[in-house]
Structure 1
Amino acid sequence: MEAKTMSLTAPTAAPSLFRVLARQRGWTRWEVFSVHFDRAASDLVREKGLLKPPTVARRTFDRWVSGEWHGTPRPDTALVLHRLFGVPVEELFRAAPEVVRAAALPLERIHLQAAQSVDARWSTSRLSLTADRSAGWHLWELEGRRVFDGTALTLHLETGTYRDGAVRLDATDRLRQFVRPVRRGVVMTTVVDAEDRLRTFVLDARAVRSMLLIDDSTLPVAGAHELDDLTYGLIWAVANADDGLLADDHLLDAQQRALSEFLKLPSSALSKSWIPGITAVGSSWMGSYFCAQHIRTRLAAASDLPMFWTREQFGEEAVGWLLYTHKHAYLRSTEEFASTDVPVTRTFCLPEAAVQDSQPYERLLLFLAAALMEMHHITVRVCTEREFSSVDGFVLVPGQQVVIANWVRSEEMWHASTTTSRSQLRFYTDVAGHASSKDVIAGRTPLDRLQALAAYLRLDWSWLRRRCRALGEQGVSSVIQPRSRLVSIDELDAVLLYVGSLTG
């Protein structure tokens, strides 16, 4: 009788869900995983009041990935893991479901490197990659810091070709399938250039769809589309502002009649709870819109040159100047006060602490907002005294009136009033006079002032001018396109070209 043979090879254990999900995200190295874990832990400390953020030792992580872990993480660690993966911890260390394991094919290494580089460079970026190459899209989360609610873009990854200094993108079937739906999305293409550097470029999905109508085989990728602080900042700003306003479109439209009634009042302040469910972006837009109308109404009969004081200190707060159509109309009306002899001025209070607390892409947005004003013949001034940070936004008509209008860093949606009180006129006159005498970017021409502002914001002027010109020539819509009726990028394109044209 033939003896049965026994296999000496043990069956391969199914990978844990933790291992599969970590592999999908490109987090199989402790150095990479710990960055995301620590960030999520810090968020939970703020939100849930944990005494201190938990940490993960390299040895523990290695056991999680290898499948040698058979215990239960501590409660605070379990909270962080649930935050990272969206899966209860008791499921995370069990065998991954078959359908998940089938999808867990490794991404191309160049895409993983690009994704890790993007997330490491910008703290508000979270790339969630699916390992299933056939899926064709991933998720790019863009978190807010001060005003934005946060949003997400669908993302398609492609490997481009680099030859003789030019980047091209093959029009693959997966690319065509990705850009066909009307959802908002971006195409990220990565190449290794002649100097063996990894470089990443971004194109708006709708822009790619239009390009395919011209050439359905290969697409040129301009150097202006390279993902750096300028392009990231604009994608971050446009996507967040636009999606917030789209989410509130009906709410904002329904309040137009009520706003006209508030404008008739000599003073008004509105709680943010007045419109239940409104987003942070929608609330800030509403405050900005009302304040602009309030100022324009009160200045209609002004017989002297007004002086403007603005409260924005961070790029996220200043985005409205670049994108909101009502802000553009407001700037044009302000420009009408200008004369060849006496300029209209607008003063920013930008303490050193605010500059230090801003990322480069945020400082770029703030710079562009100031440049936009200079483009409209409004002379920008900057004072740095921290004690003026609490001064509300105002417009001073010397000896006549002060129009107070503020929505920035406020507990209310807006606070607006008008006063002719002598004591108030004296106070705001002193504030404006001090700011004028302490102007840290004082210069004879817009070029002088903007160069000084760039230096104060720690921005490289030659790089900034070159990048603005290149992106302005391509158009911001080539990297990100707004959809809300309340947003326009025409002024943004114009100011990029304006900065790029400054010489001297």
Structure 2
Amino acid sequence: MLEQLFGFPAEDLFRPAPVVLRPAAVPVGPERIRTAQSIETRWATSRLSLTTAAGRGWDTWEFDGRRVFDGTSLAVHLQTADSLGSSARLSVTEPEQLTEFLRPVRRGLVLGTQAANDDHRVFVLDALTARNQLRVGLSADSSLVVPAAYLLDDLTYGIIWAIANTDDALLADDQLIHAEHDALNTYLALPRTAPSRSSIPGLTAVGAAWIGSYFCYRHITRHLADASSLPVFWTREQYGESCVGWLLWVHKHQYLREIEDRFATQPGHEVTRAFCLPEAAVKDSEPYELLLLFLSIALMEMHHVHVHVSDESEMTAVDGFVLVPGQRAVIANWLRTEGIWQAATNGSHAAMRDYAEAAGHAAHHSVAPGATAPERLQALASYLGLDWVWLTRRCRALGEQGIAGMIRPRSRLIALDELESTLRFVGALAT
């Protein structure tokens, strides 16, 4: 009966349990359980799985995607944290376990947990940062110092969620992306392209988004080379998850700098970009997603791009485009398309008129109006339901501290400098 029930021979069932099933020498403590519960309760895309295997010093933090991300996980090690005013000190009570956790080259985070009365706080430190702090060796009285800016809240969770998902997916697709580089050059020579997702089998959802975005960047800049008038931009991003590329991807940063250097630095020239963010999309977004969306728009304003925001749901069907008045409309979609991208150009007067009317309508009915970037961003924060005082304060603290000490990307396709500059830019808007 036991063999039928458990699927193992009776002699195996009555032997000592194998190592992988051996219970932990020290039961999971209430602090670790409380940390896992608080993380899972606050962020539905997150789950902290506590290990019970003997001799292991880490748990697993899992991240689910909502619309674009494939989902990923990373190793974490929990330590008790004591407040030091502007930072938190993590006492290393079990140096052997921490040494074992920090030794592997896989990505990991150290979580410092701090409980005071009814307040339960978690601080985050990248494993490489912890390793650098403790390079002289561990002892029973060793400790790690975590900046107060690395407190886990909606802002830091959103950034960790975004970096972990995009970085792991792009690393998984690195060889595929590299192999497709020459094929992208071939597509650029064609007047209209819309390759199916099956044309590059094996890509993650994030990898497909990156390739689509990268091709659209190349397609747009190619057709802006002879622009004789100020272009007008329209983007299809509606959610923080799809906006992450602006904050993290190197080619997006290069794109913004090229537009700024060529068009936005001339006196009297104002580059505009329109977003369509219906109320339904805002209500369907978690706070950390809204923060990523806000930061993406703030990044553009930092690069002297005047952003208009439409809330009309019917405008979501508008293509992503760049209109060069009197010359052409450059269509470039990589979001909400059947293929990896959809790219074309259209020089008909009717098409250019339609795109100009859409951009003009968004400009005249923007839900984030204002004569200056701070006015527009404050109006945007209000529309998204974000606390302006808290937002600017947290952005300033995190921007001054930097992101890499909390979590650092590994992919060559990701950079943190523009995100950190945006955090400082928003932080400087505090009133």
TM-score (norm 1): 0.79
Measured after TM superposition, the shift of residue 219 of structure 1 is 2.0
For 1:503 and 1:123, locate their aligned partners in 2 and report how far apart those are by CA, in whole Å: 30
| Native 8 Å contact 1:105 1:132 kept in 2 | no
Instruction: Tell me the equivalent position of 2:97.
Output: 174
Could you list the runs of 4 or more consecutive aligned residues of structure 1 that deviate by over 4 angstroms after TM superposition? 94-97, 163-166
For the residue of structure 1 that corresponds to 2:195, the secondary structure is strand
Measured after TM superposition, the shift of residue 399 of structure 1 is 2.3
For 2:86 and 2:396, locate their aligned partners in 1 and report how far apart those are by CA, in whole Å: 19
- Deviation per CA, 1:272-309: give whole Å up to 9, x if none: 11011111010000000000000000001000000000
1:380 equivalent to 2:301? Answer no
For 1:397 and 1:132, locate their aligned partners in 2 and report how far apart those are by CA, in whole Å: 62
Instruction: Tell me the equivalent position of 1:106.
Output: 27
Instruction: Tell me the equivalent position of 1:492.
Output: 419
1:356 equivalent to 2:280? Answer no
1:342 equivalent to 2:264? Answer no
For 2:42 and 2:387, locate their aligned partners in 1 and report how far apart those are by CA, in whole Å: 18
Instruction: Tell me the equivalent position of 2:149.
Output: 224
For 2:16 and 2:120, locate their aligned partners in 1 and report how far apart those are by CA, in whole Å: 35
Percent of aligned pairs with the same residue? 55
Measured after TM superposition, the shift of residue 151 of structure 1 is 0.5
- 1:67-466 equivalences in 2 (<5 Å): 98-99=17-18, 100=21, 102-103=23-24, 105-132=26-53, 134-162=55-83, 166-171=87-92, 172-193=95-116, 195-213=117-135, 217-335=142-260, 336-338=262-264, 339-466=266-393
For the residue of structure 1 that corresponds to 2:55, the secondary structure is helix
Measured after TM superposition, the shift of residue 141 of structure 1 is 0.8
Q: Which has the higher contact order (CA 8 A, sep 6+)?
A: 2
| Native 8 Å contact 2:173 2:204 kept in 1 | yes
Measured after TM superposition, the shift of residue 106 of structure 1 is 2.2
For 1:259 and 1:95, locate their aligned partners in 2 and report how far apart those are by CA, in whole Å: 61
Q: Which of 1 and 2 has greater Rg?
A: 1
For 1:166 and 1:496, locate their aligned partners in 2 and report how far apart those are by CA, in whole Å: 19
| Native 8 Å contact 1:237 1:316 kept in 2 | yes
C-alpha change, 1:163 and 1:252, in structure 2 (3 Å) is closer
| Native 8 Å contact 1:107 1:133 kept in 2 | no
For 2:159 and 2:14, locate their aligned partners in 1 and report how far apart those are by CA, in whole Å: 42
For the residue of structure 2 that corresponds to 1:147, the secondary structure is coil
C-alpha change, 1:202 and 1:273, in structure 2 (3 Å) is same
Q: Which runs of 5+ in 1 are unaligned?
A: 1-71, 73-86, 89-93
| Native 8 Å contact 2:22 2:53 kept in 1 | no
Measured after TM superposition, the shift of residue 213 of structure 1 is 3.3
1:480 equivalent to 2:399? Answer no
| Native 8 Å contact 1:143 1:149 kept in 2 | yes
**One-letter code aligned to 2:205:** A
For the residue of structure 2 that corresponds to 1:152, the secondary structure is strand
C-alpha change, 1:303 and 1:214, in structure 2 (3 Å) is farther
| Native 8 Å contact 1:472 1:493 kept in 2 | yes
Measured after TM superposition, the shift of residue 264 of structure 1 is 1.0
For 2:86 and 2:328, locate their aligned partners in 1 and report how far apart those are by CA, in whole Å: 59
Measured after TM superposition, the shift of residue 490 of structure 1 is 1.0
C-alpha change, 1:274 and 1:214, in structure 2 (3 Å) is same
For the residue of structure 2 that corresponds to 1:135, the secondary structure is coil
**One-letter code aligned to 1:274:** S
Measured after TM superposition, the shift of residue 176 of structure 1 is 2.6
| Native 8 Å contact 2:177 2:207 kept in 1 | yes
For 1:417 and 1:480, locate their aligned partners in 2 and report how far apart those are by CA, in whole Å: 38
Measured after TM superposition, the shift of residue 101 of structure 1 is 5.2
- Deviation per CA, 1:298-325: give whole Å up to 9, x if none: 0010000000000000001000000110
Measured after TM superposition, the shift of residue 444 of structure 1 is 1.2
**One-letter code aligned to 2:127:** A
C-alpha change, 1:303 and 1:209, in structure 2 (3 Å) is same
For 1:367 and 1:203, locate their aligned partners in 2 and report how far apart those are by CA, in whole Å: 25
Measured after TM superposition, the shift of residue 218 of structure 1 is 2.0
